[in-house]
Structure 1
Amino acid sequence: MAELHPQLQKDCLLLGQFELCKLLLMNDANYPWFILVPDRQGITEIYQLTEQEQQQLMRESSIMARLLVREFHAEKVNIAALGNIVPQLHLHHIGRYHADPAWPAPVWGVCVAQAYDDEALQVLIDKTLEALRGQSGFIAAG
């Protein structure tokens, strides 16, 4: 089991575990923003995963992209693996809208992260976990 990078621990909440990846929620209410982190020690790039793990990452990424469109009505889904600050391999999945504060630019550096209030956070977590219920290999954190 790979330990999460301290920056991910600081910025995110652990929602659960897919077959390959931990599922995190970025604590930024400006956007519905999820992060998949392959549970493999020392991996910084996708090519370092086995071919089977790469395919599993794509399956889990597709689940999250569909969730953003279906449950959060995202007009566009931004998926990115930057790793410039956090070298641990992680894939951002961000629901984007024409009216969001950064549109059409990338979200990084545009506005200050707005932490969820307790009620909004719980609603978002419940909605996400309900949508993932029954997804093969997903186990909610608890």
Structure 2
Amino acid sequence: MHTETPASCPLCQPQDETLIWHDEQFRVIAVDDPAYPGFTRVIWNAHAAEMTDLPPAARAHLMQAVWTVEQALRDTLQPHKINLASLGNMVPHLHWHLIPRWQDDLHFPDPVWAAPKHDPARHVIWHDSRLKAIRARLPECHAHIRSALALR
């Protein structure tokens, strides 16, 4: 059983986040994962562990944000797939992981938290041939996220 309180919760006490957008209820941050450019989190600001801890209107607001960010990632980065995950096993604070995936990434088709599916030597090719181009589109992606969320 987790015993985090807002005072000890790392998502309640953010540090060194790359903030893309926020409102009073949630924030969107870029996750610094060198192998997965575009990895983004949508974090509910109040300390709540489960979606059903939120009233229906707040749930809808949060999920609309998740879907908006997903669409922006798809529009700008054009991944093969987007993985959505809301685990909360390590930090019981509502947050959604949005992870663009490509068929030639290190773990595809497995989750990014699994053991690598492909030979890490192959990942050098992924780094050289794809990562730089995808990373170059991140400013456009983040601008698209900001614009789309501001319009909702």
Q: Which interval holds the TM-score relative to the shorter structure?
A: 0.7 to 0.9
**Aligned mate of 1:96, from 93, 101, 112:** 101
Given the alignment of the two structures, is residue 6 of structure 1 paired with residue 19 of structure 2, yes or no? no
Residue segments in structure 2 that go unaligned for 5+ positions in a row: 1-5, 117-131
Change in CA separation of 1:80 and 1:129 when aligned onto 2, cut-off 3 Å: same
Q: Within 2, Cα distance between the matches of 1:91 and 1:125?
A: 19
| Structure 1 residue corresponding to 2:42, chosen from 29, 32, 36 | 36
In proportion to residue count, which structure has more helix? Answer: 2
Structure-2 separation of matches of 1:135 and 1:71? 12
- Of structures 1 and 2, the one with the larger relative CO (CA 8 A, separation 6+) is 1
Further displaced range: 12-21 or 58-67: 12-21
Q: What TM-score does the superposition give when structure 2 sets the normalisation length?
A: 0.71
CA RMSD of aligned residues (A): 3.2
The verdict on how the C-alpha distance between 1:92 and 1:66 changes in structure 2, with shifts beyond 3 A counting, is: same
Matched residues, number: 130
Query: Offset of 1:86 from its aligned partner?
Result: 1.3
- Counterpart mapping for 1:106-121 below 5 A: 106-110=111-115
SS in 2 for 1:63: helix
What amino acid maps onto 1:6 in structure 2? Answer: P
Unmatched 5+ stretches in structure 1: 112-118
Runs of 4+ in 1 over 4 A off after TM superposition: 7-12, 122-125
Percent identical across equivalent pairs? 24
